[in-house]
Structure 1
Amino acid sequence: MAKKVSIVGAGMAGLTAASHLAQQGHEVILFDRARYPGGAAGYYRYKNIVYPTGATISFGLESDGPLRRVLQSVGIVLEPQSVEQTMDVVLEDRTIHVYGERMAWRSELRRVFPERTDAVLCFWDHLALIADIVYRISKSRASLPLRRIVDLGSLPAQILRDPLAFTKLFREQTWTVLDALRKYGLEDYAPFVRFLNAQLLDAAQVDVSLAAWLPASVALDIYRFGIYAVQGELGGLAQTVYDHLLQRGVTIKSLTTIVRVEQEHSQGAWRLLTSKNETFSVDAIINATGQPIPGGPEKSFFSKPTAQEPAWGAVRLDVTVLSSWLDNLDLPINHRKQPFAWQIANDAAIGDLVADPHGAVYVTSHPECYQLEMDGTSTQQVISISMHTPTDLWMTLPVDEYQAKKEAVRQAIIARVERFLPGFEKAIITQRLGTPKTYYRYLQKSVVGGTPLTVRASLKQPIGARTKAKGYYIAGDAVFPGPGTLSASLSGYFAARAIDPQVVRW
């Protein structure tokens, strides 16, 4: 029987859930407080320029990739462009080119880590093996925690086909990445650990000492499953799904905040109250915002930050630069057509300033399509720069201290980028800096990046789509399988499947 379902949040989790429920004939109402779709994978416009707010490349879009399949199963056909190299990780004494092709990556590991090449290669062979098994699980449609038969997906069949592989996963299920490093005597190999930390803080929100080995292996090796660029980056991908929903007749309420939800009776019906004084009665709710909604039951699901699982916010500097500066950098891609990123590892000074000693300054150049000049002759491009920082470092600062810290961080970011990408400072045309306070002002949440991929959060006590309240579900990067666009999309699928087990099996 068709249900009336409200989905709160038009990020990739909410968009994916909406597309699968609409495919099954359910009446879907999608709410979002923003003007444009995508959430953390979206964009904003300022003075005729589009600034992407999330990732620039996507994973899971290979021919049998889980993201491509979860979208194609509801009629969304993409034409992603394969990219061989789209990132450099910059350490003080070496630069690592992140390649998608596996043999090229092995050659790069040999080149850049000559002090302990054999151990590094053995470590990565082990990691790649684990990543392959875990990635296969993501394609099986299995979701944690296992509460219903449907949550198993096709996992039992996969286990029967390759029981030895899954036995290996079971033996290593409580490992951290640091445990794996110790196995190969690499825990004290500073440049390699520094490289892993820069990658993990971005993808898993924790460093090697806390990152769960099983999901982290995928986060570190996913480039080898295929790197893809889509038109308009991930904001363009979100817009494609959004347009598909409009074509299917889904009701979309943009610039609308849900201020409260109320359960009408024990059978699961819910009432939503909006910021526009509208009231909606529905059979089910999916909260895909990553934060509790007043009146909802999910407050206990979003755990308070701890030293083991910190609440990361972000400092973000959006700039426009002269395209000619990028022309002179000798990039491995056509920067006017494809994005490129640098992860510049934090030094002690900037690490202390933002309270993130293990992370990096994440610099991304965006294609010329983001410069919306009427004559079509762009001479500038958008660069987005972000850093992890604890939210509590910013939220309670007095105004004067806040402004002083903001300016100190702005200068430090520019200096750090200038050191490794000379000419950057002079190439800047415009710049806008945001902090966790800025995120809270526009999104009503200061935390970014989702739930850290610790052993507890990802394997021992994962948060699934179902809550204790009938008819109330959750999705997004704070829910299994965790951070990232691919994971958020899968969480949306799992929430839709929890409501209707007959959603399309991709």
Structure 2
Amino acid sequence: MGKTVGILGAGIGGLMAGAFLAVNGYQVSVFEKATTVGGSAGWYHRKGRRFPTGATLAFGLEEHGLLQNLLAQLQIELEIENLDHPMDVILKDRKISIYQDTKRWNEELQLAFPEKSKEVQQFWDELTFLGESVHSVTASGVSLPIRHFTDLGKMPQYLITHPLSLLRLGRYASWTVEDLLRKHELASYVPLRSFLNAQLLDAAQTDITEAALLPSSLALTIYRRGSFHVKNGIGQLSQVLADKIRECGGEIYLSSPVSSLRYDNNSKDWHITSKKHSSFYDFVINNTGVSFGPGTSHADHNQSLWGAFRIDAVLHKSVWQKELNEMVLPFAFQIATDSAGEEIKQAIDGPIYITFQQTNNQKGEIIEDEITMTCSVHIHNQVWLSYSKDVYEEKKRQLTNAILTEIEEVVAVREYLQYAIAGTPLTYQRYVGKAGVGGFPLTITNAILKPKSVRSSHPNLYLVGEQSFPGPGTLSAGLSGYHAARIIINNKK
């Protein structure tokens, strides 16, 4: 019998690790609190409909892309559609359309920022150059911080062919995005600051004043590489990884939250106790972001995470013809809230992120006369956890109405609204096991000086997901899972 691995949490990080380990002969067991796999890249069912739990777009699925390369190694194929125009960012006085095509994007920069068009183009050219370099380093498979030769991946080969690359990147290691704006005399240019802040709070969990330039350069320019719609939703990515684990003899226990994790110093293995199954394992991978004791999660670092308030709604499909001009779906809007009403400003941080997509039933079949709208905003979760039941319900109702009012300024949705479901940090606490979402902000400390390793302080325990290097997002979480699996597999050799 092969070595055994217990994986806590069926998010992308855990599933990616589990799939690589399963195809390499490990006996894999995955424990998930929810009724479906995927975590923030999954779906849930309500009123006979399927709603995304978080992410709706995928990155890294282009030919030889970071995620595509991992799936190819697993012999997994996905039906995907590359989106030429996936999103519009709405500021108080202008709209910026996000395009994949570089020529169209450069033209958009000129149209959207006419007051400083030359400086903005120079800024974006340098940002793109940095993003390309960061992408190349990431593609080498390096896992920070480097604690073992395995963590280098193919970095030594990359350095041989690109000896000056790290030296160039090193110049910017201590820079924030605001520092690059300052270099191009754009630090006081409010429209560009607002645009970048809207993009970064979603991608890096912080704004330009604190976002580390190097990882942010890739996050801000990755749309040129492509953004992808996965047939049946991004939860399908999670599903095929889960299927691969099962195909290789692994087990996935849904609705089975883990109640304890304990290391046995005598037998040198881990004991996992969950609702549906309990056993001993040679290795454990924690993808939940939940602590089971000192050193078992990066949550022990006592850094605060954002909370999320979300609205999942079903609209009549006529909204697509009359208000969305029959755009290719899914399509997203980021609405900056700089000029929003006081009720919104006091309740949330950053933009309102909305995605429109086709409605699916629980089987994944399209419901032809409906459109699904998902909306999410960043909030401070501790406030919501402190409310009494009556105050909580009233605050949830008020914020739902306030957000819908802001959306109405961009897309008239109310007259097409069939129903809406709101979720708060308390909802995440109940169904996911934690109120905080999105991983730690990509500050210079978190991303450059003290990145959070997939290795823990305990023997044969690894930490993956959005709280580990490379950081927030589906793509990054998947990479962290691969890094952990690589360590375990290489240690066997």
Fold conserved between structures, TM > 0.5: yes
Are 1:437 and 2:435 counterparts? Answer: no
* 2:308–2:376 contact (8 Å) kept in structure 1: yes
**Matched-pair contact (CA < 8 Å) for 2:232–2:364:** no
SS in structure 2 of the partner of residue 272 of structure 1 = strand
Please tell me the residue identity of whatever aligns with 2:107: S
**Aligned partners of 2:36, 2:297: CA distance in 1, in Å?**
26
- Which residue is 1:292 aligned to? 291
Cα deviation for residue 163 of structure 1 reads 2.4
% identical equivalent positions: 37
- Find the aligned partners of 1:371 and 1:86 in 2 and give their Cα distance: 25
Alignment partner of 1:342 is 2:333: yes
User: Take 1:279 and 1:15, find their aligned partners in 2: how far apart are those partners?
Assistant: 19
Q: Residue 362 of structure 1 corresponds to which residue in structure 2?
A: 353
Partner of 1:461: 450
Q: 1:355 to 1:361 in 2, by over 3 A?
A: closer
- CA drift at 1:296: 5.7
Superposed, 1:4-403 pairs within 5 Å as 4-265=4-265, 268-276=268-276, 278-293=277-292, 295=293, 297-299=295-297, 302-305=300-303, 310-331=304-325, 333-334=327-328, 338-346=329-337, 347-348=339-340, 349-356=342-349, 359-370=350-361, 378-403=368-393
TM-score by length of 1: 0.93
The match for 1:411 among 395, 401, 415 is 401
Kindly indicate whether the alpha-carbon contact (under 8 Å) linking 2:87 and 2:97 is maintained by their aligned counterparts in 1.
yes
RMSD: 1.9
Please identify runs of 4+ aligned residues in structure 1 that moved more than 6 A. Answer: 371-374
CA distance in 1, matches of 2:362, 2:21: 36
Asked if the contact 1:100–1:226 (Cα under 8 Å) also holds between the matched residues in 2, the reply is yes
Normalised to the residue count of structure 2, the TM-score between the two structures is 0.96
CA contact (8 A) 1:88 1:343 kept: yes
Following superposition, the deviation at residue 459 of structure 1 comes to 1.2
**Counterpart amino acid of residue 364 in structure 1:** T
* 1:105-131 residue CA offsets vs partner (Å, 9 max, x unmatched): 100000000000011001100100000
* Partner SS, residue 385 of structure 2: coil
Note if contact 2:17-2:481 (Cα within 8 Å) is conserved in structure 1: yes
**Structure 2: distance between partners of 1:413 and 1:370:** 26
Q: Which residue of 2 aligns with 1:475?
A: 464
> SS at the partner of 2:400?
helix
Deviation at 1:371, TM superposition (A): 8.0
Residue 437 of structure 1 aligns with an amino acid whose one-letter code is L
Q: CA deviation at 1:373?
A: 10
- SS of the equivalent of 1:488 reads helix
**Secondary structure of 1:420's partner?**
coil
Cα distance, 1:371–1:329 mapped onto 2, change above 3 Å: farther
Displacement of 1:164 in angstroms is 2.5
Query: Does the Cα contact within 8 Å between 1:48 and 1:373 map onto a contact in 2?
Result: no
**For each residue in 1:144-169, what CA deviation from the matched residue of structure 2 results, as whole angstroms up to 9, or x when unmatched?**
01011111111122122222332110
Partner of 2:202: helix, strand, or coil? helix
Question: Are the aligned partners of 1:20 and 1:503 in contact in 2 as well (CA < 8 Å)?
Answer: no
Q: Could you list the per-position Cα deviations for residues 269-295 of structure 1 after superposition, in whole angstroms to 9, with x for gaps in the alignment? A: 11111124x4201111000111212x4
Match of 1:198, SS? helix
Quote how far apart the aligned CAs of 1:503 are: 9.2
User: How many residue pairs end up in the alignment?
Assistant: 491
Q: Unpaired segments of 5 or more residues in structure 1?
A: none
- The one-letter amino acid of 2:404's match is I
In structure 1, how many angstroms separate the alpha carbons of the residues matched to 2:19 and 2:380?
34
SS in 2 for 1:150: helix
Q: Taking structure 1 as reference, are residues 255 and 266 closer, same or farther at Cα in structure 2, changes over 3 Å only?
A: same
The aligned amino acid for 1:323 is K
SS of corresponding position for 2:310: strand
Q: SS state of the match for residue 360, structure 2?
A: helix
**How many Å apart are 1:401 and its aligned residue?**
2.3
Deviation at 1:329, TM superposition (A): 2.6
- Can you give the 5+ residue segments of structure 2 that lack an aligned partner in the other structure? none
Q: Deviations over 1:345-403 (max 9, x none)?
A: 113425423241xx1111111124358799x7631111101110011121112223222
Give distance in 2, aligned partners of 1:432 and 1:163. Answer: 53
Q: Distance in 1 between matches of 2:294 and 2:282?
A: 14
CA 1:55 to 1:300, structure 2 compared with 1: closer, same or farther past 3 Å? closer
Indicate if the aligned counterparts of 2:289 and 2:465 stay in contact, CA closer than 8 A: yes
Task: State the Cα distance separating 1:502 from its structure 2 match.
Answer: 7.0
Q: Secondary structure at the match of 1:365?
A: strand
CA distance in 1, matches of 2:244, 2:77: 10
Give 3-state SS (helix, strand or coil) of 1:343's partner.
strand
For the residues of structure 1 that align with 2:11 and 2:134, how far apart are their CA atoms?
Answer: 25
Instruction: Say if 2:297 and 2:463, in contact at 8 Å, map to a contact too.
Output: no
SS in structure 2 at match of 1:500 = helix
Aligned partner of 1:496 in structure 2 is 485
Q: Say if 1:299 and 1:372 are closer, same or farther in 2 by CA, change over 3 A.
A: closer
**How far apart are the structure 2 equivalents of 1:222 and 1:267?**
46
Which residue identity lines up with residue 384 of structure 2 in the other structure? W
Matches of 2:154 and 2:435 in 1, distance apart?
A: 37
Classify the secondary structure of the residue corresponding to 2:7.
strand
Name the CA distance, whole Å, in 2 between partners of 1:266 and 1:124. Answer: 57
In structure 2, distance between residues paired with 1:398 and 1:281: 41
Q: 1:439 to 1:373 in 2, by over 3 A?
A: closer
Using the alignment, how far apart are the partners of 2:300 and 2:409 within structure 1?
A: 39
Q: Residue 463 of structure 1 contacts residue 480 of structure 1 at CA under 8 Å; is this kept in 2?
A: yes
Secondary structure of 1:196's aligned partner:
helix
- How far has the Cα of 1:332 moved from its partner? 6.9
State how far apart, in whole Å, the 1-side matches of 2:484 and 2:171 are: 30
- One-letter code of the match for 2:437? V
Displacement of 1:421 in angstroms is 0.9
**Residues 298, 468 of structure 2: 8 Å contact kept:** no
Deviations 1:132-152 (A, max 9, x none): 000111111100010111111
Partner SS for 2:143: coil
Q: Could you tell me which amino acid in structure 1 is paired with residue 155 of structure 2?
A: L
Kindly provide the amino acid, as one letter, of the partner of residue 310 in structure 2: R
CA contact (8 A) 1:344 1:361 kept: yes
Q: Distance in 1 between matches of 2:378 and 2:79?
A: 32
